Amino acid sequence: MQYIPQAAPFEMIDELIHTTDSSTLTGFTIREGHLFVVDNHFAEPGLIENMAQTAAAGTGFQAAKEGKPAPVGFIGAIKNLQIVVLPSVGDTIQTTVTFLHQVMQAHVVQAEVRLHDQVIASATLNIFLQ
């Protein structure tokens, strides 16, 4: 995906569905053999990285509009993480990240992962951009 700095096998999003200045929506289909598939389910670290990559896709899209490369970032903190269901191989999840505020280089975002219109995971992430 052109809007994130990650490459296979570390890609946790397939599609940038929609993005604005304040939110981003991505899709990802869980594939057999993926790095974070364990016992036919997409494991917790994959869901967290999916949230972070959704945030990165929105930032990368905005950078691309300005003719710049996607910035590299990293997760500085995870708060209020809730994981209700681990999606299975073949499931397609949709993740929404909403920008809450920025403090210096830290972007604070709220993320929700949905499967069949049900929220299966959520968290607040502090993401630091280089």
Q: pLDDT tens digit string along 49-74? A: 999 999 999 999 999 999 998 888 89
Mean pLDDT of 20-31: 96
Domains with residue ranges and CATH for the chain: 15-129 (3.10.129.10)
Q: What is the pLDDT of residue 70?
A: 84
**5 alpha-carbon distance from chain centroid:** 12
- Let me know: does 94 contact 27? Beta carbons within 8 Å: yes
- Let me know: does 32 contact 38? Beta carbons within 8 Å: no
pTM for this one?
A: 0.94
Tell which wins on pLDDT, 105 or 20.
20
CA dist 58 → 44, 53, 104, 107 (Å):
22, 9, 18, 12
Query: Residue 96 forms beta bridges with which residues?
Result: 25, 112
Structure confidence at residue 3 as a pLDDT band (50, 70, 90): confident
